[in-house]
Chain A
């Protein structure tokens, strides 16, 4: 690790929390807070100027969305490592954040030292997730990405069409309308897809479909 402290930018709309976070990070000489912002646009402008090494971003901001900010940063500030620090449940938001371009996800209810650990990890180019979330991720990886269950290998053409539309964020009714099928048929397809890909429920099905869509396999 070089002696020069890493520049850290804070994007957080709750003043007291931002203050506490800055005090804690400020105690560690390896980091230096280079700027703070409450909203997405303001943060993006400041970070483009300051080029921080890492950014700690909340998902709910005063204006704009944290996820969109991370997506913008992926193209405009690829060298900045992003840690999401949020009160929202990691089971629903960690994966979405990572997909958007974050390297770490820390819940605010975790021990405050977790954020320091996460910063160290992402600055070293490694991902950071809580232990529970790592277990979930491994489980999802084992279920979803095993070679035998690649959607394009196991699903029929019609099932793949349904899966691809779900991956675009369509819900059942819209899939049915788009493919000219009735809802019952789409539901049967969904049930079959779930079985073939070993997915537990419709939320997982939707998530897996989006992941597949984004992986570039989808038509």
Chain B
């Protein structure tokens, strides 16, 4: 009730408090001096201190005491002899009202400050999570690129040098040539492993068609690996010119597909990328068990992170249970966010 009242405009709140006070004063007057109504004055007083201000509460405290004493006087309870007594009682009442007003007002301020702090901290926490995800993704891509452009090249150079050694040994008829060949093969395996890691860290290649290619490859890899039908549907070319946008969209699709298999036990998954009038739509639909509810539950961080990723790139995100069963994940990136930027033009090979 207090919350509903505090949502009203201050003027209406104050008027209501005064009205309540006058009503209590009237009750006090008609019930006469023998029935004490002083506790009822606490209602307008508390409301004033909680939701308006200490000054207004002090005014209400004084007004309540005046009403109480006035009522008693009109009722003839006070005569000349008992004036000091009445003043004493009024004073005591006033002091207790003032103490209450101050206490409630402080409590109210404290509550407001706490609420505001919680709001600030929550916003800061969300920003941090946002940053962590953004930075994490950027760092992953950087490490992936470093692996691809640094370690893989280094290993390939080593393999070529070793191949030259093998040929040299073979030419001289030295039997250890086969050992050298074995080393070349081991290095080749090393290159394959590093390329795989690089691909996991930075799955979307740096070109405008990278997202289409990555989703297509990932769908066929999923089909083979998990023996399910995972199709990628994209009727007309979708070009994404911003690496981070492509990477987050890819990770959202990847997470949705992973959930479909691990939690939904789906056998048929569709990943679709479509250009609409207002933007770009990424859909992942499956025929699995369907999501229990559309809120994050004990099913890991994926359901929390997908909408965060969408938020980072300025896309909307929804996850729903399909009518015929199964889950539908939809991410929509409005036109303005499909950057026409030149990240690829600068970095493309």
Interface residue from A59, A113, A205 paired with B236 (Cβ < 8 Å): A205
Are A203 and B276 CB-contacts (below 8 A) given A19-B161, A67-B349? no
Chain A, residue nearest B192 (CB) = A109
Closest B residue to A202 using CB positions: B234
Main secondary structure of the interface of A (DSSP, over half): helix
Within 8 A of B (CB), among A26-72: 26-27, 59-60, 65-67
Q: How large is the interface on A (under 10, 10 to 19, 20 to 34, 35 or more residues)?
A: 35 or more
Check if B113 is an interface residue, CB within 8 A of chain A.
no
Whether the Cβ atoms of A194 and B349 lie closer than 8 Å is: no
With contact pairs A111-B184, A183-B275 given, residues A65 and B237 touching in the complex (Cβ less than 8 Å):
no
Q: Among A1-9, A130-138, A185-193, which stretch is in contact with chain B?
A: A185-193
Q: Is A172 among interface residues, defined by CB-CB distance under 8 A?
A: yes
Beta-carbon contact of B275 and A172 below 8 Å:
yes
Check B205–A92 contact: CB distance below 8 A: yes
B262 to chain A, nearest CB (A): 26
Question: CA separation between A166 and B216, bound complex, in Å?
Answer: 19
Interface status of A78 (Cβ within 8 A of chain B): no
Residues of A within 8 A of B348 (CB): 65
Contact-size category for B: 35 or more
Q: Which of A20, A67, A172 contacts B158 (CB 8 A)?
A: A20
* Cβ-defined partner of A202 (8 Å) among B164, B195, B212, B349: B212
Task: Report A-chain residues with C-beta under 8 Å of the C-beta of B163.
Answer: 24, 111-113
A16 interface contact, C-beta 8 A: yes
A62 CB to closest chain B CB (Å) equals 11
Asked if A214 lies at the interface with its beta carbon under 8 angstroms from chain B, I say no
- Chain B residues with CB under 8 Å of A16's CB are 153-154, 157-158
Task: Name A190's contact: one of B159, B184, B235 (CB within 8 Å).
Answer: B235
A68 to chain B, nearest CB (A): 10
Query: Which residue in A109, A188, A189 is a CB contact (below 8 Å) of B152?
Result: A109
Evaluate contact between A24 and B164: CB separation under 8 angstroms: yes
Also in contact, A112 and B149, with CB within 8 A (given A187-B235, A187-B274, A202-B235): no
- Asked whether, in the complex, the Cβ of B156 is within 8 Å of the Cβ of A17, the reply is yes
Give bound CA distance, A7 to B56, whole Å. 96
Which A residues between 165 and 199 are near B, CB-CB below 8 angstroms?
Answer: 166, 171-173, 175, 182-184, 186-191, 194
Q: Give A158 Cβ to nearest chain B Cβ, in Å.
A: 14
How distant is the Cα of A21 from the Cα of B152 in the complex, in angstroms? 14
A18: chain B residues within 8 A (beta carbon): 157
Contact with B along A11-25 (1 / 0, CB 8 A): 000101111110110
* CB <8 Å contact, B238 and A171: yes
A108 at interface by CB-CB < 8 Å: yes
Within 8 Å of chain B (Cβ to Cβ): is A156?
A: no
Question: Is B213 among interface residues, defined by CB-CB distance under 8 A?
Answer: yes
For the complex formed, measure the closest distance between the CB of B197 and the CB atoms of chain A, giving whole angstroms.
Answer: 13
Chain B's closest residue to A207 (CB) is: B209
Whole-angstrom distance from the CB of A142 to the nearest CB of chain B?
19
Do the beta carbons of A21 and B237 come within 8 Å of each other? Answer: no
B232 within 8 A of A: yes
Is A187 within 8 A of B156, CB to CB? Answer: no
Residues of A within 8 A of B (CB): 14, 16-21, 23-24, 26-27, 59-60, 65-67, 87-89, 92-93, 108-109, 111-113, 115, 166, 171-173, 175, 182-184, 186-191, 194, 201-203, 205-206
Identify 19 new A-B residue pairs, CB closer than 8 A, beyond the known A23-B164, A166-B237.
A14-B154, A17-B160, A20-B159, A20-B160, A26-B164, A27-B167, A27-B168, A60-B149, A92-B205, A92-B213, A111-B163, A171-B237, A187-B275, A191-B235, A191-B236, A202-B212, A203-B212, A203-B237, A205-B237
12 contacts between A and B (CB under 8 A): A17-B153, A18-B157, A23-B160, A24-B167, A65-B349, A67-B349, A92-B205, A92-B213, A171-B208, A172-B237, A191-B235, A205-B236
